A and B are shown apart, each in its own frame.
Chain A
Amino acid sequence: MNNFNDFMYSNVPGMMTDPNMNTFDNDFMVGNSQNMNQNMNQNMDHLQLFDSYQGYMRGNMFQDLYDEYKNYKPQRLVGKDEQQERLLELSEVAFAAHDLNLYLDNFPNDKEAIKKFNEYRQKTNQLMEQYENMYGPLVISSNSLNTTPWAWVSSFPWEVNK
């Protein structure tokens, strides 16, 4: 169980480390807790949010709600090709917007959260359009649906990505 979920904690003081940990890419590394605060966290006055990458890996944008099971770390997601990478990027910001959406349903007067939501919403729309132009439609309202044959009928998400 040591070769997974290993991307973020290794050099962080006080964090659990795994002696059998494999090497991992530099862009996932967190050098120290100060860097962690700068890179991973977004300090809003009242909300401590992960950034969209860290939040998406965890399935939770809210630092105060994040609760690990045993010592399992989030799975490290890496796209096998350009298309999968682009889909991951889109999924990250879409997820960040969604998690803020749920929060805002309860607290609809939170201006800071609305601002943050809109940043992620705009990014999502932008990445969605880019993805669809390159790889085909994700939604039926996509501008990429004006080709023949009908692009909607190809590629379903439950099939394994080789």
Chain B
Amino acid sequence: MFSYQKRLQYPINIKSKNIEMAKLLVTQYGGSNGELSAALRYLNQRYTMPDDRGKALLTDIGTEELAHVEMISTMIYQLLKDATVEEIKAAGLDPHYAEHKRALYPTDANGVPFTVAYFATTGDPLADLSEDMAAEEKARAVYENLIDLTDDEDIRGPLLWLRQREIVHFARFKELYDMYKKELKK
């Protein structure tokens, strides 16, 4: 089961609204390489990992990704909270406003809604862990794109931090992949 801790894994305190950035950041919530996709991918794949190392790692990284969903969601919420309708229109977020007002909705940066088609499960631990490694690298790349697109340190700080988590997760998945690759052949 899961329980909630009423704190962010890393603090988010965005002082200036920024509708344009909210529109872009949302891809790390509901885009193909985003945190929601990561959480569901790992939490779904963990059941059929071949031993307890894999079950533990996918459970723990999948759970951390839920904390990252919360961080990204918090950023979007804070960026949009005080936006006027005029500002929302000017940023091209009026279609979002029509459907959701200032509420959050998991889409990519083009407004395409989240879908579980963004991830796979094959039941083959090497294939699944390869996907997980690729997912971490793609998320890292998207974080770098987003870091390039902002000069607000309240936004950039958490993005740098989240990018670093992708690097650690990639390394852990790769370690496990390499161990399984050797051991499962025997």
**B8 and A108 within 8 A (CB):** no
A47 to B53, CA, bound (A): 19
B77 within 8 A of A: yes
* Residue from the list B14, B74, B172 in contact with A103, Cβ < 8 A: B172
Closest 5 CB pairs of A and B: A75-B157, A59-B164, A59-B161, A105-B56, A158-B74
Chain A at the B interface: mostly helix, strand, loop or mixed? loop
* Residue from the list B5, B147, B167 in contact with A60, Cβ < 8 A: B167
- Chain B residues near A22: list those with CB within 8 A: none
**A60 and B53 within 8 A (CB):** no
**A74 and B3 within 8 A (CB):** no
- Chain B residues near A1: list those with CB within 8 A: 151, 153
B6 within 8 A of A: yes
- Chain B residues near A139: list those with CB within 8 A: 3-6
- Chain B residues near A102: list those with CB within 8 A: 57, 60-61, 64, 168-169, 172
**A101 and B6 within 8 A (CB):** no
Known: A98-B64, A105-B53. A58 touches B158 (CB 8 A): no
B138 within 8 A of A: no
A70 to B3, CA, bound (A): 37
- Chain A residues near B169: list those with CB within 8 A: 102
Interface size on B, residues (CB 8 A): 47
Known: A102-B61, A102-B172. A108 touches B167 (CB 8 A): no
Q: Would you list 11 pairs from A and B whose C-beta atoms are within 8 A, ordered by A residue?
A: A67-B167, A88-B11, A91-B7, A91-B9, A91-B10, A91-B11, A95-B10, A98-B64, A105-B60, A155-B6, A158-B78
A105 to B51, CA, bound (A): 11
Known: A157-B74, A158-B74. A106 touches B57 (CB 8 A): yes
CB within 8 Å of B: which A105-162 residues: 105-106, 108, 137-141, 152, 155-158, 160-161
Interface size class of A (residues with CB under 8 A): 35 or more
Closest approach, in angstroms, between the C-beta of B150 and any C-beta of chain A?
Answer: 10
Closest approach, in angstroms, between the C-beta of B77 and any C-beta of chain A?
Answer: 5
B93 within 8 A of A: no
**B153 and A75 within 8 A (CB):** yes
